[in-house]
Amino acid sequence: MARGGISHIALTARDFDLSTGFYDQVLGFMGFERVEVPETTQQAMKTRLRAWASPNGSITLRPAHAASAGKTHDRNAPGLNHLAFNADSRADVDGLHALLQRIGAKILDAPAQYPYFAEYYALYFADPDGVKIELVFWPPA
């Protein structure tokens, strides 16, 4: 493991089943596989958990506490602004865009080349709770 690499990202969802289906599709496209979370882990964490893993790390999902379930994500408040994942090609970005359209996901910005860096080609979309996600192809210089 590389120092400073991301081990996992933990997300919370208002609608656990809806978000599970969303992430099954999106993370599956990106090469993550759903993995079982041991019952002992869920008991220790005092919550239900879903998880997806890839050679690049893992993502976990838990249901929101009842007192917070009515809140939506605000990416402009302190905390997480967005998650960005690497794509292997522009075709990957376009392929995810097509999948998102098929499942009715909220597209924030369609695939395009952005002026952030040379050849920066990205897609921006939101999960069911409004978390902004990016898939970017940015070839090495």
Give me the domains of the chain, ranges plus CATH numbers: 7-65 (3.10.180.10), 81-141 (3.10.180.10)
pLDDT(132) > 70: yes
CA distance 49 to 9: 13
What is the rounded average pLDDT of the residues 43-66?
95
CA distance 139 to 40: 42
Residue 1: pLDDT band with limits 50, 70, 90: low
CA distance 130 to 101: 16
pLDDT(70) > 90: no
CA distance 69 to 47: 14
What is the rounded average pLDDT of the residues 32-52?
96
The pair of structure tokens assigned to 1 is: 């493991």
Q: What is the pTM of this model?
A: 0.93
